[in-house]
Amino acid sequence: MELFQELQWRGLIDNVTSPEVEDVINNQKITFYIGTDPTADSLHIGHYSSLLMAKRLEKHGHHPIMLVGGATGFIGDPKATGERQMLTKETLEHNFNCLHDQIKKIWGFEMVNNLDWTKNMSVIDFLRDYGKLFNVTYMLNKETVKKRLETGISYTEFSYMILQSLDFLHLYQEKNCVMQIGGQDQWGNITSGLELIRKKCGANTKCYGLTMPLITKADGSKFGKSESGTVWLDAEKTSPYELYQFLFNTEDAKVVEYLKKLTFLSVEEIQKLDKATQEEPHKRMAQRALAEEVVRDLHGQEGLDSALSITNALFRGNLNDLSEQQRRDAMKNMEKVDCENGLILEDVLVKCSIASSKREAREWINGNSISINGEKIKDTHFVVDKENAYVDNYVIVRRGKKRYYCLNLQ
């Protein structure tokens, strides 16, 4: 299977600007770029597929350039739902530096910043040299702009299309970059860049665009910074354990899609895991493979080992086997409950809605079903206070084999 066909099989091709893209990817060695704006200080799981796409092409001999938009970040790519909040110069600079370091550390790609070739451009030069080449009717017909016409769109965001088009032109002229790759929501920006290149460099200039389907959850919503429960690629924001648990809990209906898009597992390996999901879904072999591959790729074997240590400790109830940092990571996914300091265990279980009544609380305690910080407690009058703290003022209650509660003693 050639590379382009494998990308199709993995569901990574949404649209291409020319049938020639297939031959270019399979048989040539080109420079291409993928861009992101520094609207946060870390990439998230929604970006991960694009970064792996760059890696897949690099393995085939193509040269990736990662563009972090220090200039376009000031403007804001138009959203279908409304205007973006403007970020300060200090915030954008901080975010840019964080993204630059993150991408270099994990993937080692060549990095560029579009602020470098736009910061000294005058408004007159921008309008004469580039604005004159964009027809407003053409711009209004772009999908995202269309969606905003009823609610309104600022000139600032309307001009984003022109500003991003300059990126493609600049990289083509300076680095012989002939392809831009982006999410399917970037189709309008990519085709605008191609139009600008042809108008400035000649109608027969060979440049291309490729879009990828957005990674979505089972309910169809996309992963992004504006969505709740963002899964970050930065270990300080989303720990390897949290990432592992997020991926391990992937629905059966989505796990094979994620294996195709988010891992380098071979066609044969994924087909085998697909079969296992259909025949023995309770074993969650595909979910385990997905979680291990992604965590190892992002955080190394050490990060995966830590995630597995926490997972195993929680499964067995051996909480005291964990380091302090692992304890903090383990607590992040637990249900948090504020609790009065110094109550007896029987009252704690009722007041924190762990048990529905004192009778039920006593039954669980006497039945050896309640643990405090990994230790079985059989005394209904055991005092839960800050001296029992697992980390800081937190006490971990385990009910049965799977339910954990993190009590914040007040």
Chain-centroid distance of CA 233 in Å reads 6
Q: What φ, ψ does residue 34 adopt, rounded to 5°?
A: -130, 135
Whether 192 and 321 share a structural domain: no
Q: Look up the domain containing 86 and give its range.
A: 3-212
Q: Could you say which residues of the chain have pLDDT below 70?
A: 224-228
CA distance 407 to 410: 9
Tell me which residue has tokens 């605008």.
192
* Domain endpoint, select from 331, 349, 368: 331
Here the tokens at position 306 are 């830590």
Instruction: Look at residue 227 in the predicted model and tell me its pLDDT.
Output: 47
Instruction: Look at residue 224 in the predicted model and tell me its pLDDT.
Output: 59
Contact of 355 with 365, CB cutoff 8 Å: no
Q: Is the dihedral of CA 24, 26, 30, 36 positive or negative?
A: positive
Whether 94 and 45 share a structural domain: yes
Residues making up the binding site: 33, 160, 164, 225
**Domain membership flag for residue 217:** no
How many CB atoms sit inside 10 A of residue 259's CB? 24
Whether 301 and 201 share a structural domain: no
CA distance 408 to 319: 17
Contact of 12 with 36, CB cutoff 8 Å: no
CA distance 153 to 62: 38
Instruction: Look at residue 21 in the predicted model and tell me its pLDDT.
Output: 98
CA distance 168 to 210: 13
Whether 339 and 321 share a structural domain: no
pLDDT in tens, 38-71: 999 999 998 999 999 999 999 999 999 999 999 9
Instruction: Look at residue 144 in the predicted model and tell me its pLDDT.
Output: 79
Bridge-partner residues for 68, per DSSP? 36, 113
pLDDT in tens, 253-310: 999 999 999 999 999 999 999 999 999 999 999 999 999 999 999 999 999 999 999 9
Whether 59 and 144 share a structural domain: yes
Which CATH number does the domain housing residue 22 bear? 3.40.50.620
Number of domains in the chain: 3
Which CATH number does the domain housing residue 379 bear? 3.10.290.10
Q: What φ, ψ does residue 211 adopt, rounded to 5°?
A: -115, 155
Whether 29 and 142 share a structural domain: yes
CA distance 300 to 297: 6
Whether 255 and 189 share a structural domain: no
Whether 273 and 132 share a structural domain: no
Whether 352 and 324 share a structural domain: no
* Domain endpoint, select from 300, 331, 362: 331
> HSE-up of 65 (CA within 13 Å, CB side)?
21
Instruction: Look at residue 228 in the predicted model and tell me its pLDDT.
Output: 52
Whether 195 and 81 share a structural domain: yes
Q: What φ, ψ does residue 232 adopt, rounded to 5°?
A: -90, 155
CA distances in angstroms from 263 to 52, 105, 223, 290, listed in the order given:
8, 18, 17, 7
Which CATH number does the domain housing residue 268 bear? 1.10.240.10
**Domain membership flag for residue 228:** no
- pTM assigned to the model: 0.88
Whether 88 and 198 share a structural domain: yes
Instruction: Look at residue 213 in the predicted model and tell me its pLDDT.
Output: 95
Residues making up the binding site for ATP: 225
Whether 251 and 201 share a structural domain: no
Residues making up the binding site for L-tyrosine: 33, 160, 164
How many CB atoms sit inside 10 A of residue 363's CB? 12
